[in-house]
Amino acid sequence: MIGKLLDHRYQVIRILATGGFGETYIAQDTKRPGKPICVVKHLKPASSSPIIFETAKRLFEGEAETLERLGSHDQIPRLLAYFDENQEFFLVQEYIDGHTLSEELIPGQPWTQSQVIYLLQEVLSILEFVHQQGVIHRDIKPDNIIRRASDYKLVLVDFGAVKQLRTSLVTVSASPVTGTVAIGTPGYMPIEQGQGKPRPNSDIYSLGIIAIQALTGVATSELPEDPDTGEIKWQHLAPVDPQLAAVLTKMVRYHFKDRYQSATEVMQVCKEMGSNHTPSTPVELTTSALERQTIAFAPANPYATKPARNNSSRPDPLPLLIGIIVAGSAAVLVANVYPKAKNFAAKLIGEDINSTNSCLAEIAANSNVRSEPNPINSDNIVQTVGDETKLPVTGKQTKGGWMEVKLNSGRLAWVHSQVVTNHEQLISCLRDQGIAIQTVDDGSLITTRTLPQLQSKPSADKILAQAKLKYESGDLPGAIAIVKSIPANAASGIKDTREIIHEWQRDWAKAEAFSHEINTAINQGKWDKVLSYRNHPEKLPNIKYWRDKLSPLFQEANNTNSQSKNHGKK
């Protein structure tokens, strides 16, 4: 598919994901200036029957209309286009430049209660809108929440439209069936969703799990359950305010009737808590958060990915710019009516751009201002503000959330966005002033990374165990990098590191091939073949990441196969 031109317009440049429900690509819109990046979701029907295709097309258009409505929310990707080609369906959505919430949820590094409350409030406001549209997301997890690089807001992605379509296409030639095939991710999916009967508060459950994961620093797979009730036992894992503990516990109750019934209901409680948990001290990123790399940072759009939604009310700048050429005095008019032209106008009338375009970051008291975006090196602190301080920003920021500021001495320095109390207003100011927001990699700005001195170096066994955890979680490159860090003279007690790496690469390749076989069988509607794989567990990949990934596919095959057999008996 790489290089293929879809709809004579969207050129595929990278395959982002492949699964039993379809494929997702990163593509360029070749008919727009600058060829901006977009996301294309591809659905392949299991049957080529004309009757099934026409029914599927109606379902597809209905799902597209739903995505169109959802995209009116600023923190949900917009639907840019949808079409069918060669009896296959395609959805084109806005590309969100940023990093997933998974990058911020680091095991062993819990968030503050204030951060968790803020997370809840922001995502709940999105879910409130989603549920009001009669939609259940059904796959709320850290990988589906992106922190947008341009303004640091959280964006909810992957509404599973392709998955829902894939599920519907299985039965379009048969009578309607009750319930839906389970869609979701183990660890974040409540019991009723696993049974194919999701409700709006199934999404609330998933968000509650994420919040508990953030607050405790414990992975979902390690959260214990009460064997008698199925309730999650987590409060012993972290000190927590009783009110917040009660809210999270109610969000993740085993039975949906015992949970909050709406996002609005939870938002109201969080709003009351928020007034008692206003952040007052800086929260800085950890070394692993800065050093960790992620594929979520796809190539940035050369043009803005989310233009203003109501451009019709904004005056066309072209006549004004013509007026500037005719009479220099018109430059003032341009600056007032069309903010993006302020820099151009200032140059024409001879004003100092730096003096007129001043956007000030309000920095919380007791926060550190650093010479580089590296919180580990204590030698790079150039200033610790006493009371709240205002410093002008340059527009440069890092993917890790650091913002460049200008000190009174004229020296440039860095503060983290989490200690900037007027962040949203600041972003708006930069845009109004026409100051470009430039996002760069943290690593390119860090000259030294002074790591904490450990009392004793970890043994080869401990390093290998750490690598094994990464391997089981799905991060093969990260696991290999850790194994390679084992000193040669410390590895004598374990298997040769090259042999370990080779073994992991070989098993991973087998797992990928196995997953591809299952996806192919699902795409072809060969449910019995899929179930035959499940019934021979000794053939399944012995890697947790792949077992978790295959489990929902087996569940889908089992449910669909049962429905087909029941229909055949009627």
Q: Is 387 left (phi over 0), alpha (psi -120 to 50) or beta?
A: beta
Structure tokens at 393: 């920003």
Residues that are catalytic: 139
Residue 37: burial class (beta carbons within 10 Å; 0-12, 13-18, 19+): buried
Give helix 263-274 / helix 113-132 axis angle, nearest 10°. 150
Q: How far apart are CA 198 and CA 567, in angstroms?
A: 23
- Taking only Cα atoms into account, the Rg of the chain, rounded to an integer number of angstroms, comes to 26
Q: How far is CA 275 from the centre of its chain?
A: 27
Q: How far apart are CA 131 and CA 134, in angstroms?
A: 5
Q: How far apart are CA 467 and CA 480, in angstroms?
A: 7
- What Cα–Cα distance (Å) separates residue 123 from each residue in 153, 200, 203, 464, 489? 10, 14, 10, 37, 49
Q: Tokens 């803020």, residue?
A: 118
Q: How far apart are CA 569 and CA 369, in angstroms?
A: 72
Residue 477: burial class (beta carbons within 10 Å; 0-12, 13-18, 19+): exposed
Q: How far apart are CA 59 and CA 479, in angstroms?
A: 42
Q: Is 160 left (phi over 0), alpha (psi -120 to 50) or beta?
A: left
Residues 128 and 180 sit within 8 Å (Cβ to Cβ): no
Nearest partner of 479 among 487, 489, 471, 491, judged by Cα? 471
Query: What count of residues does the chain have?
Result: 570
- What Cα–Cα distance (Å) separates residue 225 from each residue in 79, 192, 234, 238, 369? 39, 17, 8, 16, 43
H or E segment to which residue 42 belongs: strand 37-43
Q: How far apart are CA 225 and CA 209, in angstroms?
A: 13
Strands (E), 178-317: none
In one-letter notation, the amino acid at residue 278 is: T
Buried b (16+ CB within 10 A) or exposed e, 106-123: beeebbebbbbbbbbebb
Residue 301: burial class (beta carbons within 10 Å; 0-12, 13-18, 19+): buried
